[in-house]
Structures are given as C-alpha cells and as structure tokens.
Amino acid sequence: MKIIFISPSFHNNQCNWVKTLLNKGHEVYYFVWYELGNKSESLETETIEKYNFLEKFSSFFHNFKLIKLFLSIPKPILFYKKIKENNPDIVIIRNPFRYTFSFFALCFSRLQGRRIIFYSQTDLYKKVGKLRFLFIKFVCIFFKAKWITPLKGSPETFYSKFYKDSFYVPFSIDFSDIFTKKNGNNEPIKIISVGKFSQERKNNLLLLRAIKKLKDIKDLKLTIVGALYSKDDLTYRKIVKYIKDNNLQNKVIIKINLPYKEMFAEYSKHHLFILPSSNEPASYSVLEAMSCGLPVVCSDTNGTKYYIEEGENGYIFKSDNLEDLSDKIRLIISNREKMKKMKKESLRIVKEKYSPEVFYEKFMKVLVSEKK
C-alpha cells in the first residue's frame, strides 16, 4: 500500500509510525512544508538530526521518500501534480483546516478520489459542542474521511467519541534494554526535563522553583535539556538568572541543542522525568522517557498525560501549580523502592501499549474500516 503523510513538518513522534509501515512493506511518502530550523515552526531539540535520519531511510528502504515542499505560499498546480504522480492509496493529513498547505492537500486528494484520513492531536473521548460536532460530521462526510488521534482523552464512561468514525492510534516507540539503567541506592537522585528554553509554556522556571522547594533533599540533581536559538533569548536568560540568584548551580545542569542520537543515552543516566509544561497538545518526550525505564510526571494540560498510569509509573500534577508539582516529585523520590517499581511499570506499559506492533494493529483497523 502507498501512503502519503502531509504535515507542516516532520516531528520525531512520527518516526516510529513511518519506520513501522516501511518494515511492514508499505511505501511511505512524507510531504512537509516548513524548512528545518524555521523558527515559526515548533521545533524540539531532536529535529536538528531528524531530517538527516529520514533522508538516510532511502539507503535502507527503497520505498520511502521525504518530499520537501518548502513554499511560503503553496503553489496549487505543483502540489496537485505531486500528489497525483505519487498516486497514493491513502492520504493522511495533519490538521487540514489549520494550514493552507494542508487544506490544499485535502481538496486535491478529494478531487483525485483518494482515501483520506485526518490526523490531529485531539482527545478521542471528549465533550464536543453541537456546532463543532456538526462541522466535524459535515467535513468527514463531504471528504469521505476518517479521523485518527494519538490521544484517548477521558474514558468513554464520561464522554463518547467526538465523532463515530474517529479512532485512537497511539504514538509508538522502539523498546531496547540498552537504554535502561539500574538505580543505585547511594547515588544522587537525578531528574531530567526536556523542553525548548525559548517557550515560557515549557515552565522551566516552575520546575526550578520546585527544585528549590525540595532543597532539604541534598542528593537531588536536575538536568534540563532543550533547544535554543540564541543565548540572548529573554526566557532563557530568566532561567539562567534564577539558577544563579538561588544558588542552584550545584543542583542544576543545562544542556543546549543536544543531538537526538544522544538523547536516549541521556535519559538513561537519570532516575525520573519531569515535564512541567502547560497546555501542550502532546509531548512525545514522556514516551521516550518511559521507554528508558523512567517514572514520569507531567501536567494535567498535557495530552500525553493519558500515557501515564497514575501511581503506577508516575503522576499527573495540576498545571502551573508549584505545590502539587513539588508534592508529586517528593512522593516519588522519597522512596527508592517505589522508583524501582515505577521504572518496571514504565517499561511494561511501553511494551504492552506503545510498541510498533500495537500501533500497526490499530492503524490497520482504521484502514479496514475504510473499506467498509
């Protein structure tokens, strides 16, 4: 089967989707709009390496192409021809009504009679207003489209699916024991956080305040890894100033623009992953940390909170709430045996629920439903 993904950029959370489809013998094409490094696009630290990683796919997989359509204003005729010449069986379009680029893809795919799947990071089970529901229903019927999302949302006992032909297809990640480590009882407790230094919503300052609040725990270290375009960035300067003003230099390490190939080794050096960000659609770093055997903590306004099993492999704290974040961190690190159990649970959850095989099974169910 030939599949085209159409998205503003290629994010690391798509890598294992693409790789799995390729390994299963499908042809995959990925149309992107934004050029690597474009600051108008949300870039994680690892994206610096991702395009090289994708282009190397061509050496190993003859059935993969990354097609860069770097156009400030998409040229409709060129775009129409690109889709037609690749002749896909399925077109998967990210947020088709948010970007002009994606909307063109949607219209052209419909004109060419392609099977269409919408992709967005929307809770599958959620409360939807009548007007929103009618809009979703209209566009899905008009474009003959299904809808997939990597976020389950609230359990179906509280809400129904936002649309009957919407499906949960989880993020996936390769699991490898080489990235796990044993927790020594005598070594300092090491916390890692990953997030762009230039974005205030990443809440790096909130995490630093929590570390200061936990100053009674002497063997506590924090590493913050993130992308940074300029050391003159105001948000980054606030972070550096806070560390200095509060004498946290011995507790906090900052690592800037760490290559993606080094990230899993970096996770494995730590014991706990904290993502303090607020109002984030879905952070893949939560799953990356889990695959390395780390207990995880994130806010209740982060989409991948649904990947955490509360009290089993981590906790969810109230967004922007210093007291709750501090309490959740203390709850984990105060008991090293508990941390070890949470480590095992993170690995179990990744194996059982977010492996490439689980993704592929759920993805193919969507395609089977397409034929009905």
DSSP per-residue codes, 235-294: HHHHHHHHHHHTT-TTTEEEEES--GGGHHHHHHT-SEEEE--SSBS--THHHHHHHTT-
Residues 277 and 299 in one domain: yes
For residue 355, give Cα distances in angstroms to 171, 173, 303: 8, 6, 19
Residue type (1 letter), 357:
E
Give tens-digit pLDDT for 150-176.
999 877 767 889 889 999 999 999 865
Residues 257 and 136 in one domain: no
pLDDT of 44 strictly over 60: no
Residues 167 and 28 in one domain: yes
User: What is the average pLDDT across 334-362?
Assistant: 94
Give tens-digit pLDDT for 217-245.
888 999 999 988 888 899 999 999 999 99
Please measure the distance between the N-terminal and C-terminal CA atoms of the chain and give it in whole angstroms: 17
Residues 311 and 206 in one domain: yes
Residues 142 and 14 in one domain: yes
- Please state the domain count of the chain: 2
Q: In 3D, which of 160, 146, 174 has the Cα closest to residue 360?
A: 174
Q: What confidence score (pLDDT) does residue 325 get?
A: 97
Q: What confidence score (pLDDT) does residue 216 get?
A: 86
Residues 205 and 334 in one domain: yes
Q: What confidence score (pLDDT) does residue 41 get?
A: 34
State what percent of residues in the chain have pLDDT above 90.
Answer: 58
Q: Which two tokens stand for residue 89?
A: 């069986």
CATH number for the domain including 221? 3.40.50.2000
Q: In 3D, which of 302, 253, 252 has the Cα closest to residue 277?
A: 302
Residues 6 and 155 in one domain: yes
Residues 194 and 334 in one domain: yes
Residues 6 and 151 in one domain: yes
- Least confidently predicted of 37-46, 107-116, 289-298, 314-323: 37-46
The residue range of the domain holding 339 is 177-352
For residue 327, give Cα distances in angstroms to 227, 285, 303, 322, 323: 28, 22, 21, 9, 6
Residues 161 and 220 in one domain: no
- pTM score, whole prediction: 0.86
